[in-house]
Each structure stands twice: as C-alpha cells, then as structure tokens.
Chain A
Amino acid sequence: MADSKSGSDSKVGTVRVKRGLADMLRGGVIMDVVTPVEAKIAEDAGAVAVMALERVPADIRRDGGVARMSDPAMVEGIQEAVTIPVMAKARIGHFAEAQILESLGVDYVDESEVLTPADEAHHIDKWAFTVPFVCGATNLGEALRRISEGACMIRSKGEAGTGNIVEAVRHLRSILGDIRKITQADQAELFDWAKQLQAPLGLVQEVAETGCLPVPMFCAGGIATPADASLVMQLGAEAVFVGSGIFKSEDPAPRAKAIVEATTHFRDPAMVAKVSRGLGDAMPGLEIGELETKLAERGW
C-alpha cells in the first residue's frame, strides 16, 4: 500500500486550501445564526455554512453601540451543534479578535463592516493567519485591496440588516462590470486602471487575463427572498450570505430551505416560483435613503 505522512511534508494554511474551502461553498447559502438552535435549523435547511454572531445585523442596527466579536462560548456552542463549517466575525483591523477566533478553530473569519471597526487605517494582515478570511467589498478596487491583504473570499457588502437588495446589486454590478471592462483594456490602460482602482497592478493584470477575481465572489447584504438569491446569482455571485433575512422573517425554516433551493436552481424561474409559495412575511425592509448609518461605508 502506498504511504504518505501527514507530518514533515504537509503544509496547513496554504492559499490553495484557504481559497479551496471557499470553492467548496460555491452554489450554497451561508446563514447568520445567533444560537445553536438556529444553527441546527440552518443546517437542516441545507446551509453550506453558518456565521455565528451575537446579534444579526438588523438588531445591531436597531440597538446601536459598539458591535464586537461574539462570546467564544457562544461560538463554541454553535460549533458543537453542527457539522457544517462555522464562520465568525471580527472587527475591521482587530487582529486580536481574529487570533481568538482562529484559536477556537472557526473555519472562516469574516473581517466585517457589520461590526464596529477597530482601526481606521488598517485592515488585518490576513496572510499571517492559518484560518482563511472573507472580506466585504463595494467595488473592484476594494475587493483587490482585500485580496492583496490575504482575503480568500470576497463578498459584496450590500447594506446588511435592511432586507433591501438594492445595495448588493449596486456592488455586484460595480465589481463585475469593472472586471468586464478590464478584460477589454490594453496593457497601457491597465496601469491606469490600477491607479484608478488603487489596487496592485499584478492583481489588476491577473483579473484582465482571467476575467474573474482570483478568489470566489459571494454576495451579502439585503437578501430576504428566494427571488433575491436568484437575482444575485444571475448577476454573477457564486454563493449567498443571508443575515437577518431568515431569522427576522415570519417563518425561518421554510424560508431558509427555499433560499437554498433558489440558489441552486437560480436559472430556473419555475423552480424559484415553486419554492417561493406560501413562505409568510419576509423581514420588514428598510429604505436605504432613511438609514442613519451605512455599514457599507466602513472599510476602504
């Protein structure tokens, strides 16, 4: 029998295994959960992963104050409740929170604008970690800056906790539209693109060559219905995060399952129609123009 050793010649935390987990989540739904019971409901509904946090964005928005990393005991409770990957959020720039989450063995850290930023100039050096990171972005330059800092998955920020898809659509269209333009640019124009985007030239050239980000690109912030999931997947998202949209709705379990189905069969309107029937009320939505705080403006 052939034999390999997992000791000396094996490497953890490589770019390939970090980005690879994001690849495995493609076509799936990652759900925000605040208790082990909700985590079970999410897993039962077919979530590919859960995001463990103390308050969903809608509540953070309502309560105000400083939003921080969750209590480790709460994260561990959720890790014990499910077998699917568990993610958790650290504040922008708060590498100590990220270190704590890594020591708990969370599967992905979200350096998230939903929490109150801890550093006004610096994001976390994500290359320094074994655990992979996902970061939000509103445009291509922001996405490439996060990737240059070591992010292994990008999610469009949208406007979390609003149940309003309009910002997520704006961010997706901005990122993917600029990618399409870059693929048409010549070498001299790429220098200018790098300057305009404030992004490393090497990454800009790579995107021009491949026509996509070097890491998977998911969508977050405002998804509340199966139709929302279908919309963002058709626009080019590779998977969706649903925050407040499930557990702030009238009947979370069937809505969770319906959003999973719609994310898989996003090109099949008859399927999306079928799963959209009789789900009860979606979460109450918020008009973007009336918000006091725009979470998407956090980070740069």
Chain B
Amino acid sequence: MLALQGASREHTTAFEKLGANVRQVRQPQDLPDLDAIVIPGGESTTISMLLESSNTFDPLAELLANGLPALGTCAGMILLAKEVLDGRPDQRCFGQIDIAVRRNAFGRQVASFETDLDIENLDDPFPGVFIRAPGALALEPSVEVLASVKFDSGEETPVFCRQENVLVTSFHPELTDDLRLHQFFLEHL
C-alpha cells in the first residue's frame, strides 16, 4: 500500500478483511518482496512529488515494469497511466496501463457524485463514488474497459479499466462496504 498521502487506510481495511497482509510503503526499503502494489486516492501531484523526494519512484517503476500487479484508484489511476492530458509538466507517471487520463474530468467538488455502476462480470451494480474524479481514454485495444459513465453530452468515459494485471478505477471502492473489486484484484494477481 503506497502510503505517502491520501486514503490508504480504507484500502488497507478492505484488503485486511479479505485476509491479505498489507504493508505500508513510504520509502524504497519498504518495497522488497511485495506481491502487488495499491496506489490509493489522494492528490496525484503531491504523491508524485513525494515518490521522487523519497527516491521511491524509480525502484517502484522497475518493479512495475517487471510485472508487479497494481491497483490504482483516482490519483492511483493517474499515476499508473501512460499519459496525463492536463497534468503538471513535471508530473511523472508509471505508464503501466495504456490509457490517457484527464484530471478532474467530471469537474470540481460540487460536481462530485455517487452513481450505481454496471460493471462487466458483476451481477449487481457497484456503488460508484466519484470525487473530483479523473476520466480515462483507452489508447490500445488491449485495455479492457470494465465500466463507463455517460456524460450529459452523451459522451462516454471509461472509469474502470484493466490491462493484464493492472487495474484502475476513477471511483473509490474503498469508501464503500462493497469488497467485490478488492476481491477481484486479489483473485487476478
């Protein structure tokens, strides 16, 4: 669990309920022997800066490039993306999933919303909690879009994507009691 800034506690609780051992990562010495990494919601510019200043960015990037499974929510989605459409010029991303991301795609906090999401392979809708959420754009056919949200304009934005063992969501499953996405991630490591 990357725990430099943001909502790592809720993810930790969710994974511990499912029986996983969770270790907090703040520095390079926390990285060895991880089976997977979770990058939680928070402020992507802040997390990106703290990854650099703690010298964690490069070793984590190497682990990811060698196939470390990853789950990214909100800011985590931005950090795992190939491209950030409106980020800061110095904002670095891991480029582990071939999507382009638009930060705050749904607007400011007053536009933050909850909606029921239909997710591929899930029988019942999933409670989607979107907070100043990013939107994705799949750049390669190998990116599976597992859920989307339709804007009032009719345009659809992917909000849950998967490419091999990298899973990203615009919304916050960790802020709900629904553990199905955490379970899904553990099953597909």
Residues of A within 8 A of B (CB): 1-7, 9-14, 16-18, 20-21, 23-28, 43, 46-49, 83-85, 102, 105-108, 130-132, 257, 260-261, 264-265
Would you give the shortest CB distance from A229 to chain B, in whole angstroms? 13
Q: Within the assembled complex, what's the spacing in Å between the Cα atoms of A28 and B125?
A: 33
Q: Within the assembled complex, what's the spacing in Å between the Cα atoms of A20 and B112?
A: 10
List residues of chain A with CB within 8 A of the CB of B103.
83
List the 8 shortest-distance A-B pairs measured between CB atoms, nearest first.
A10-B115, A107-B109, A17-B112, A48-B43, A2-B118, A27-B5, A46-B49, A23-B7
Q: Is the CB of A261 within 8 A of B50?
A: yes
Q: Does B20 contact A (CB under 8 A)?
A: no
Q: Does B128 contact A (CB under 8 A)?
A: yes
Q: Within the assembled complex, what's the spacing in Å between the Cα atoms of A287 and B172?
A: 44
Q: Is the CB of B115 within 8 A of A24?
A: no
Additional A-B contacts beyond A4-B115, A84-B45 (11; CB < 8 A): A1-B145, A2-B147, A6-B115, A9-B116, A17-B131, A24-B41, A27-B3, A46-B50, A49-B43, A260-B50, A265-B54
Q: Does B132 contact A (CB under 8 A)?
A: yes
List residues of chain B with CB within 8 A of the CB of A26.
5-7, 9, 42
Q: Is the CB of B148 within 8 A of A28?
A: no
List residues of chain B with CB within 8 A of the CB of A43.
45, 88
Contacts across chains A and B counted by CB atoms under 8 Å: 162
Q: Within the assembled complex, what's the spacing in Å between the Cα atoms of A7 and B148?
A: 13
Q: Does B114 contact A (CB under 8 A)?
A: yes
Interface of A, helix, strand, loop or mixed by DSSP: loop
Would you give the shortest CB distance from A76 to chain B, in whole angstroms? 12
Closest chain A residue, CB of each to CB of B127: A16
Would you give the shortest CB distance from B77 to chain A, in whole angstroms? 13
Q: Within the assembled complex, what's the spacing in Å between the Cα atoms of A257 and B111?
A: 30
Q: Sort chain B's interface into a size bin.
A: 35 or more
Q: Is the CB of B4 within 8 A of A24?
A: no
* Residues 5-23 of chain B, each 1 if its beta carbon lies under 8 Å from chain A, else 0: 1111110000000000000
Residues of B21-71 at the interface with A, using a CB-CB cut-off of 8 Å, are 26, 41-43, 45-46, 49-50, 53-54
**Could you show 26 A-B contacts with beta carbons less than 8 Å apart?**
A2-B118, A2-B146, A3-B148, A3-B150, A5-B150, A16-B129, A16-B175, A17-B109, A20-B112, A23-B6, A23-B175, A26-B6, A27-B5, A43-B45, A46-B45, A48-B42, A83-B86, A83-B104, A84-B45, A84-B46, A107-B109, A130-B110, A131-B110, A260-B46, A260-B50, A265-B54
List residues of chain B with CB within 8 A of the CB of A24.
6-7, 41-43, 74-75, 131-132
Q: Within the assembled complex, what's the spacing in Å between the Cα atoms of A85 and B132?
A: 9
Q: Within the assembled complex, what's the spacing in Å between the Cα atoms of A260 and B43?
A: 12
Known: A4-B150, A83-B86. A131 touches B109 (CB 8 A): yes
List residues of chain B with CB within 8 A of the CB of A23.
6-7, 10, 41, 175
* Residues 147-184 of chain B, each 1 if its beta carbon lies under 8 Å from chain A, else 0: 11111100010000000000000001001100000000
